[in-house]
Structures are given as C-alpha cells and as structure tokens.
Amino acid sequence: MTDDQSSWIEGLKAGSKEVFDDIFRAYYGELVIYCLRYVHDQDVAEDIVQDMFVKMWLRHADLQIQTSLKAYLYRATQNHALNHLNQLKIQDKYKQYVGFAALNGSESPLEKLQESDLELKIKHAVLSLPEKRREVFELSRHEGLRNKQIAERLNISVKTVENQMTKALEHLRVFLKEYLPVIFLFIVTFGVILQAFLKQDFFYLF
C-alpha cells in the first residue's frame, strides 16, 4: 500500500470531505468501467458506483480496509453490482409469480397489502418528506429515473440528488423502524421486495 493510499484511508476514516472527493475523482471513472463488466449499462453502472461511494462515506468511521484502497473499492463495486443483479433476479421471479397468480385468478401479495396499515405507513412516510426530497425520491422510485436524469429534470447537480436520496432513505428507515420485521417476513415469505415504494435500496433501511 502506498503512502498516498494510507493517508487517504486515514483521512477518509477521519471524515475528511476533501479526501473523499479526491478518492472519488481518482477512481470513479475506472470503477464505472469495471462495473460495466457486470451490468452492461452505462447509466446503471454510474448509479451503482455512486451508490457505493455514498454508502462508503456514510460508514467512513467504521471502515475496515485491510487491503489497498484500490482493491477495497473494486471489491465494494463488485459487491454492489452483484447485489443489483440479484435484485433483478428477485424481481423477475416476482413478475413470474404475479403472472401465474393472475392466470389462476388469485391476488398477488401486493394486492393483498392494498390499504393495509403497512402500506398506509409507507405512504405517510413518503409524504412526510420535505417537498424537494420527496420529489427526488418519487422520480427515482416511482418513475425509475437515474440520478443523472433526475438532476437534469430538476436542474440540480447529481451530488444534490445523491444527498437527497440518502437523507430520504434514512428518514424512511427511522419512520418505518417498527414495521421492518413485518416487511422482512413478507420478503422471506414471498421472495419479493416492496418495489413500488423502496425499489433496489430496500435493504439499506435495515
């Protein structure tokens, strides 16, 4: 490990925003290229790498980097990419289940949750977000826009979008704390994420 990497790791764990920005600028481009080996979509790769950096920053004080910083970042990017692919598989299985249920005239799990306490709680949590934060969240989760697309539509920076999403998810985690065991049981039982509300960042709520 080089002296520069050692100082970067120390600065990152100490909460230096300047060091974090230096690391981001140094590795972002090559990590996106690396991520493309897994997801084959530029926008998706960018979102995955940005999400990895955001979560790394949120946990900077607890980081355990035993290898080089570069190796750590590549492994973290790989893990995030694989998680994304696994979530796509879960969504595909759920779509298959919903299609089967429709053919057999039975309700899907999400239909059974309509107007339930859980759904109302989630709606309340989203509505309680500050207006701009809620707008960013809904564009991402309801319309499926990428961070870059949201930034262009709202005429704000991608970094602002990332910050608003991070704060929104933290708010939802706190707001829905008492419901997490129920939501987790639902996921285990049906093998499905509450995609309509929390999409791919659901497990970040735990």
pLDDT above 70 (res 102): no
pLDDT at 95: 53
Mean pLDDT across 191-205 = 41
pLDDT above 60 (res 111): no
Q: pTM of the prediction?
A: 0.49
pLDDT at 138: 85
Tell me which architecture the domain covering 3-83 has in CATH: Orthogonal Bundle (1.10)
Among the residue ranges 56-60, 97-101, 135-139, 199-203, the one predicted with the least confidence is: 199-203
- Residues above pLDDT 70, as percent of the chain: 69
Q: Residues 6-25: pLDDT tens digits?
A: 888 888 888 899 999 999 99
Q: Of the CATH numbers 1.20.140.10, 1.20.1260.10, 1.10.10.10, 1.50.10.10, which one belongs to the domain with range 107-205?
A: 1.10.10.10
Mean pLDDT across 180-187 = 54
pLDDT above 80 (res 98): no
pLDDT at 201: 44
> What is the residue extent of each domain of the chain?
3-83, 107-205
pLDDT at 187: 47
Q: Residues 115-155: pLDDT tens digits?
A: 456 667 777 788 888 888 888 888 887 777 888 899 998 89
DSSP the chain: --HHHHHHHHHHHTT-HHHHHHHHHHHHHHHHHHHHHHH--HHHHHHHHHHHHHHHHHTGGG----S-HHHHHHHHHHHHHHHHHHHHHHHHHHHHHHHHHHHTT---HHHHTTT-HHHHHHHHHHHTS-HHHHHHHHHHHTS---HHHHHHHHT--HHHHHHHHHHHHHHHHHHTGGGHHHHHHHHHHH----TTTTGGGGGGG-
pLDDT band for position 113 (cuts 50, 70, 90): very low
